[in-house]
Every structure is written in structure tokens, then in C-alpha cells.
Structure 1
Amino acid sequence: MASEPERLKPNEQQFLQQIIDNSYDSIFVTDKLGNVLLANPGTGIFMEYKIEDLIGRNVKEFVDKGIYDWSTTLKAIETRSVVSGILRNSRGVQHLVTSKPLLDENGEIVMVITNGRNEDLEDNYLVALEEERKNVRRYKTAVEYLSETAETKEPIAESQEMRKIIKLSNVIAKTDSTVLLVGETGTGKEVMARHIHRHSLRCNEPFIPVNCAAIPHELLESEFFGHARGAFTGANPQGKPGLFEIADKGTLFLDEIAELPLTMQSKLLRVLESSEVKRLGDTKVYQANVRFIAATNRDLNEMISRKLFRSDLYYRLNVIPINLPPLQDRPADILAFAHEFLEELNRKYGFKKTFSPQVIQAFLKYSWPGNVRELRNVIERLVITSFSDVINFGNDSLAETKAGSETVRCSPETGKPYQGTLKSVKKSVEKEYVNQVLAECGGRVSEAAKRLGIHSSMLYRKKNSG
């Protein structure tokens, strides 16, 4: 017969009882002989006993009565060490249980603390933990992906055409509608896509830009859908999230969409229609909560007629089309971009350079087939190679030249003395001054017109006149 169990003092028992009663695990404490000193509600549920009926009972009795199949507590007392294992109660419910003996300074057991958790809850916890780990890996991949992207900038919109486009984009940004951006190379399609994302309800989630032309065809499916662990030789042993998963709850920007092969086009169409994604080598289907923005510089209708692009995919992408005009069709933006790039380079290199009226006029006359990208490169070349703080073409074109001791006034555009009638010279001087004020105003037509005391439409006519 078991000896009389030791008892805790009332205040100690009350304090300890409050602690263990608020634990989600089943917890009970025994003395060195296995007599129960404390138990919490979780223990009572597992053993199908009232807590007050557990106190003072010996755990061996519970094993003998089949309350559960064996006792980690008795094993811990026997081995004087921590013991873990799975206990099964009379109804077949399993608990993952650990018993730890507490020893005094002489190495004698004082008490044994046992805690357990329902194995189903443990399994659910592990599933939730694995999902969390997947999210961590997804966000880690997104961060690595985004670390390679360019600095985010607001689109330049001095021209009426671009102001209308910005106004439209701000409206559609608040929806989840698919957008198709069409424009020549270098017109700023990615900048516009980022603007739409930044003003959307998904702005705090990832924006993932993908150049479809840059991914080898044999890797497209793996990149977009990801793969399960061990899906193929050389696969990441932990598995890899695809672009659809990385962009979950955010925006996936598909640049150069026309370069996708037909086989991948059909798979993308499936995702657009069903929002379902399955990794390579996996059986689990994920729901892709992604906003799609596509972009191209190709004529997709012409590609459809040549059977190079799926018409059904085109109709799914072309929900809200936005056509970005080439730079030569929006001269007001040329000057705004030019001064934006100049300020950026001045900050980067510690310069204080400005454009000469000659350069401003040349910018407005040139057709810019490479659009914004070409303009950026030209300005960088001019800034780096110019020896003067006033940027000009070729050798410095002076606003005045010396002829002996006499100063001869010259055109800053040609470097030659003024010639012709008074009317033609006045017209030349007026045009030069208009370009000078435009340069000082950073290409902002409305501000320059205000300084000149004329209407913006008249300023356009004067700066474009021959």
C-alpha cells in the first residue's frame, strides 16, 4: 500500500494551481512515490476524472485500472531521468507526454512534473508551423527577388496625354482588374505598373516584376509554379515557391508577355481563369490571390493572326488596356525627364551642371526612338563628358566670342554672330530666351509660361516655331 502523500501548504497550492490551470497542456505533479499533488483541467479531461478525485491517488492505480496504458511518471521515478512517450487513454486518445524528476541537493527525487499534449493538436501545430515556414521562405524569396529591382519612382506626367493616363491608373488601381500596358520599348511600362500597385489596396504586399523574355523556356514552368522537394534532379531539397506564390496577395507584373511560348501561355490562362496553382511534383493545389499587370511592345493582334499568341489569353489580359505614347509625342515630358535625370546625376556625383538652351532645343527636335531609356543614357553621357557646368554639344559653344577688343554678340545655339533683319534677330533672341526660361523651370511648361507672362499654348507654339 502506498504511503501517505506529502501535502503542499494551502497558499503554495493555490498559487501553483492558478499557474497550471491556465495552461493549454495537461499538467500534473506527483511526489517521489507517484502520488498526485496537483493536476489541471487538461489532465482531468484526458484521464476522465474530476481534478479533486485525482489528488492523492497514485499513478500506478491509473495504469492498473486501464485509465491509460503506461506511465512516464513511474518510468521517470525508476530511471531518475526525463522520460517522454505517447500515452493512450481508454478511448484511444493519444497524448505526447514528458515527465521530469526534480532532485534535491542530495540527488533525491523531490517531485515529478508531467505535461502532455493531445497528439492531434500537436499534428495541427506542426502543420501550421510548416505553413508558417513556407510563408517565411516565400517572403525571403520575394525579398531576394525585389533586391535586384530598380529604385521606385513616380511617373513623369507634364504632358496632357500622360496626365490622362495617370488619372485613369489611379482609378483602376483600387480594383483587382487585370491591366495590359502597351508601348514602345523604354516608354516606362514598369514605372506605370509600379505606380498602379503603389496606389492599390495591395500596396503593402509584394510587387514582383518578371521579364518573360529573360527566363529560359525550359525553366518557365518551374519559375512560375515552383516545385515540391525532390521534384526533379537538382531541385531545391526544401522545395521552392513559384512566382505565383511569391506574389500572393500582391501584384505580378509580366513584362514582355508576348515572348511566352504557347505552352506556357495555356498554363498562365489556366491560372487567370481558376486562380489555382500546383507546384511541380506536388499534389496540393494553392489558391493564387494575385493581381496581374502585363506589358508588351508587340502588336498582339498581329501575333494572334500568325498563331503566335493565344486569343483567349489576350482577352483575359486585355481587361483594361493602357497605351503609353512614345516620348516624341509628348514634348513636355521630354524636358521634365531631362531635368529629373540631370538632378539625379548631380546629386550622385556632386555636380552643379545645367543644360544650355542649345541642348534643350536639340532635345525637343530629336525623335527619341529609344524613348525614356535613350534620353537617360544621352544625359548621363553629356553630364559625365562635359568639362563645363553648362552642358553643350561638342566643343563649348560660347554665348559670346571676342574679336580683338570688341565683343561680338553671338547666338548660343550656333556660336556665330547674329545676322539678318531686325525681325529675324528678335525672333531668334525670343526663342533662345524661351528655351532659357524652360531650362530654369526644369522643363515645366506651366511654370515657364507664368514667368514669361503668356499662356501655355502660346509657349508651345513659340518653342516649336522654326
Structure 2
Amino acid sequence: MAWESSEVAVVCSREELIQVIINSYDAILVTDKSGNVLLANRSTGRLLGVDHKKLVGKNVRDLVKEGLYDRSTAWEATETRSVVTGLIRSKYGTTLMATSTPVLDKNGDVVMVITNSRDQHLFDKFMELLERERSNANRYKKAMEYLAEADSEGKEIVAESPQMQQVMTVASAAAKTDSTIMLFGESGTGKEVMARYIHRNSLRAKEPFIPVNCAAIPSELMESEFFGYVAGAFTGASTQGKPGLFEIAHKGTLFLDEVAELPLPVQSKLLRVLETGDVQRLGSTSIHRTNVRLIAATNRDLKTMMAQGLFRRDLYYRLNVVPIKLPPLRERPEDIPILANKFLDELNRKYSFKKTFTKQTLEAFTNYNWPGNVRELRNVVERLVVTSTSDYLNFEGDQSLPNSSRRSSDTSHLRQTSTVYRGTLKSVLQMVEKEYINQVISECEGRISEAAQLLGIHRTVLYRKLRD
């Protein structure tokens, strides 16, 4: 049999067409204008828990009265002469998503109603898979945004000094594992550079590396940033929700810089995520399972903070699986000339310069104390490059550096000074503390946050001491 209409073309026999209907995975039920069942395929009987042949000739309203299911979208479509979609619950606990479509004659009267149904569980499973794919797409999009902002130029690690070679030995070995790593070191020693090195040499190198400065996130936003939120979780929340940093870093590496700045409530939730891998977005009841390699870093004394009740002891031990201490630049003088020339090469390429250091400049670099470590060295090199009118860069004349940080190998030129203090031990300690604070602030050129980091105290504590 071959026929066609404006809606469909068919080349098959009547028997073959019936087989198509009977063997359809979707439930198909056909009723007349009075609600009597004209046709029911196997899937209809399977989903309703009855023999599909016994449904033929029954009226859908009687089936509702008998309790086979709780409603009939077929009859609703007959009465309204429009398409009706809804959930139908059978007496055996199955929930169906049904759509009933009326077939009308030229006068607009119902001739028959065709109902297609499918198990609601399949829809839920499909939507779950769809949401998971959307979540993954959103996660990778966010990860790419983070990665696009990351400055990876010039991040190779210089390790000519014995101290740094020892650090690299430990870092290289730890990189091949998923163990949590805790990086200790003064401000500017290159903790993020080391974290990126570990990630690049890990089994997760092809997955996202997400760096987070914990001190830069406002305390009231930390929970939503780390764990994400669903739409409407709080006033001002995105209507699409937002994945947290752990979701974004899934299968990759999450680097928490300045981890000591986390408030205690966030520390508690962070500990739970590290132990279970489970993340629950704000406003959500569902759990997201994450697989993240964590690297944390700080320039603070966490043991002192634990004693003061400012850092959780259990979180410290959870983070401090593989501790790595990065030495300050003054303790690795062999690396200073190499680092300086490395930064100079980058700037020469960037600006098409051909500038070089004089021998005296490299010696001065080596003799300088570098309180700001590698970061300060890079800034000094850049300042010399952009401000010097000569191709030969001279460091000795740089007046922006504090004299108290300059070193000299000739100790005969050092003046030994002694200050005589009077008063109680408490008052003398207060005077010494005040002098040292002023010295550090001077070395940091008035930058309070940097001074607080060097002093090992929070910037609010430093402000309070300055007021006292």
C-alpha cells in the first residue's frame, strides 16, 4: 500500500503499519469521540501494568473510575478539542508523561484522539543528563575565562641555588601524585609560579588550573564563590545560578593562595569538601561530586594562628600533607643574576630593546637584600628598563630602594650602633615593636598590606598597632 498526504508519506502495507504502532517504544492509545479505546499497543499495557488487549473496547472514563490511573488526558482532549499534556499516575505507581491530540473533522468535531505516553522516569533521567552536560559546559567556560586571564609568560622556575634545587626535587616528586601540597614562603617568593609548575607536571596537566586569591574575596561572598549557588539563592544572585570554584576546577587543580585569610566558617566547609569531595550549592539540596587536586599557599605562620584560634587545626593537617617552603631571594643569591637576565630578556622582546646589565649592576643585585623577593626584583628590572636612556642599566643609582635593605660584603664599612633603652620590660618591648613596624613599613614604601604580610599579622592588627 502506497499513499501520502500533506503531512506524511507512507509506503507499507496495512499490516506493517499496525506493526509499527504495536511495537513502538512509546505508549500509543487511540480513542473515539466517546472515549472508547480503539487501539492500544504493547507499551501502553506495559506502562499501565495490564494486558493491552484488554483495554480495547473500554471507556477511558471507566478506567479512571476503576482506579487504573488517576486522570485521562484523552478525555480532556475530547472535551476541549485541543492538545492536552500532563502527568498520569497508574495504580501500580508508574508516572507517565502523556500528550493527547484530537483529530477533528471538517466541522471541528472530534473523530478520534491519539495519546502518546512515556515513563516520566525517562524524562527525569534525560533532564538530569542534559543538566549535567550544561553544567560541564558552563564549568569549562568559566575555567577558560580564568585561564584566559592568567599570565603564563615567563613562569619558568630558576633553580641554580642548592636551596631551590632541593625544593624542585620535592615539588617534582609530589607533582606526579594527587597529594595536597602546602606552599610556605614570604610574599613575592613565587608560590603561584610553583603551583603552576606542579600542575603542568601532574597527571591533571590537561585539566583546568584555577588560581584563587583568598584575601581578595569579600568574606560575605566566599561561600558562594567556593561552592556556587542556584538561581534565587539570595538577593542579587544570577538567574542562571553559578558553579563554585570546586566545580570549575573539577578533575584539575585548585590553587588557594593566602589560605590563612579564610574565615573560620569557610574553613569548616572547606575541610568537609576536602574530606568528601561533595559540594552543595547555596540554595540547593543536590550534591555535586568533585575531584580536585588542591594546592594551598600562605606567608603566615599557621601554627601561631592555630594557637590563637584563627586557623583550624584539623584543616591545617589536611592541607599540610606535602609542605614545601620556598626560600626568600636573599637566601638564594646564585639565582639573582639569572632571574634578572631572564626578566630583562622578556622586556627586551616586549619593547624591542637591546639593553644589558653592567657587571656592577649584577653585583649590586646580588648584594641587595630583596625584602620583596622575586616580585621586587622583577619590578626593579622593569623600572630600570623603562626609565633608563642608556642601553647599559645601572642599579647603584636607583634611589627608590631603601638603604636599610642594601647589603655589603665589606663589613668594615658597617657602623655598629647601639640603642640604650630605659623603663619596664613591657614598655621597652613596645618601643622595639614600634621601631620595627616603622622599619618594615618604610621598606615596603608605605604599603600596609605588604608590611602586614612581612610582619606575619593581619593588616587590621597592624592598623590598630599604628593607632595605639
Please give the range of the TM-score, normalised by the shorter of the 2 chains.
0.5 to 0.7
**Structure 1 pair 50/340, CA: closer, same or farther in 2 (3 Å)?**
farther
Specify the alignment match of 2:190 in structure 1. Answer: 188
Specify the alignment match of 2:432 in structure 1. Answer: none
Match of 2:177 among 175, 178, 185: 175
SS of equivalent to 1:115: strand
Structure 1: distance between partners of 2:235 and 2:12: 65
SS of equivalent to 1:334: helix
Structure 2: distance between partners of 1:392 and 1:283: 63
Q: CA deviation at 1:297?
A: 1.5
Specify the alignment match of 2:375 in structure 1. Answer: 373
1:226-305 correspondence to structure 2 within 5 Å:
226-305=228-307
Write the deviation string for residues 220-246 of structure 1: whole angstroms up to 9, x where unpaired: 333333345444433444444333333
1:329-344 correspondence to structure 2 within 5 Å:
329-344=331-346
User: Structure 1 regions of 5+ residues with no counterpart?
Assistant: 1-7, 396-466
**Structure 1 pair 205/30, CA: closer, same or farther in 2 (3 Å)?**
farther
Structure 1: distance between partners of 2:29 and 2:349: 68
2:35, 2:61 within 8 Å by CA — same for their partners in 1?
no
Structure 2: distance between partners of 1:359 and 1:14: 92
Q: CA deviation at 1:20?
A: 8.9
**Structure 1 pair 303/107, CA: closer, same or farther in 2 (3 Å)?**
closer
SS of equivalent to 1:309: coil
**Structure 1 pair 131/20, CA: closer, same or farther in 2 (3 Å)?**
farther
Q: Please give the root-mean-square deviation of Cα atoms over the aligned residues, in Å.
A: 4.1
Specify the alignment match of 1:383 in structure 2. Answer: 385
Identity %: 60
Q: CA deviation at 1:370?
A: 1.4
Q: CA deviation at 1:336?
A: 2.8
Structure 1: distance between partners of 2:385 and 2:106: 80
- Count of aligned residue pairs for this structure pair: 384
Specify the alignment match of 1:98 in structure 2. Answer: 99
1:60, 1:74 within 8 Å by CA — same for their partners in 2?
no
1:62, 1:68 within 8 Å by CA — same for their partners in 2?
no
Write the deviation string for residues 277-305 of structure 1: whole angstroms up to 9, x where unpaired: 44444444554533221111223233344
Structure 2: distance between partners of 1:234 and 1:312: 34
SS of equivalent to 1:387: coil
1:154 matches 2:153: no
Q: CA deviation at 1:363?
A: 2.6
1:304, 1:311 within 8 Å by CA — same for their partners in 2?
yes
1:51-450 correspondence to structure 2 within 5 Å:
81-89=82-90, 91=92, 93-100=94-101, 114-151=115-152, 153-392=155-394
Q: CA deviation at 1:11?
A: 5.2
Structure 2: distance between partners of 1:328 and 1:273: 38
Instruction: Give the letter aligned to residue 343 of structure 1.
Output: D
Structure 2: distance between partners of 1:328 and 1:353: 25
**Structure 1 pair 160/98, CA: closer, same or farther in 2 (3 Å)?**
same
Specify the alignment match of 1:46 in structure 2. Answer: 47
Instruction: Give the letter aligned to residue 325 of structure 1.
Output: P
Q: CA deviation at 1:324?
A: 1.0
**Structure 1 pair 305/86, CA: closer, same or farther in 2 (3 Å)?**
closer
Instruction: Give the letter aligned to residue 221 of structure 1.
Output: E
Q: CA deviation at 1:343?
A: 2.6
1:63, 1:69 within 8 Å by CA — same for their partners in 2?
no
Instruction: Give the letter aligned to residue 349 of structure 1.
Output: Y
Q: CA deviation at 1:256?
A: 1.4
**Structure 1 pair 198/113, CA: closer, same or farther in 2 (3 Å)?**
farther
Structure 2: distance between partners of 1:199 and 1:48: 57
**Structure 1 pair 144/41, CA: closer, same or farther in 2 (3 Å)?**
farther
SS of equivalent to 1:190: helix
Structure 1: distance between partners of 2:29 and 2:227: 49
**Structure 1 pair 18/187, CA: closer, same or farther in 2 (3 Å)?**
farther
SS of equivalent to 1:202: coil
1:183, 1:323 within 8 Å by CA — same for their partners in 2?
yes
**Structure 1 pair 332/30, CA: closer, same or farther in 2 (3 Å)?**
farther
Out of 270-279 and 57-66, give the one that drifted further.
57-66
Structure 2: distance between partners of 1:226 and 1:94: 32
2:361, 2:396 within 8 Å by CA — same for their partners in 1?
no
**Structure 1 pair 14/348, CA: closer, same or farther in 2 (3 Å)?**
farther
Structure 1: distance between partners of 2:63 and 2:20: 29
Q: CA deviation at 1:13?
A: 6.2
Q: Could you state the TM-score of these two structures normalised by the residue count of structure 2?
A: 0.66
**Structure 1 pair 260/76, CA: closer, same or farther in 2 (3 Å)?**
closer
Specify the alignment match of 1:462 in structure 2. Answer: none
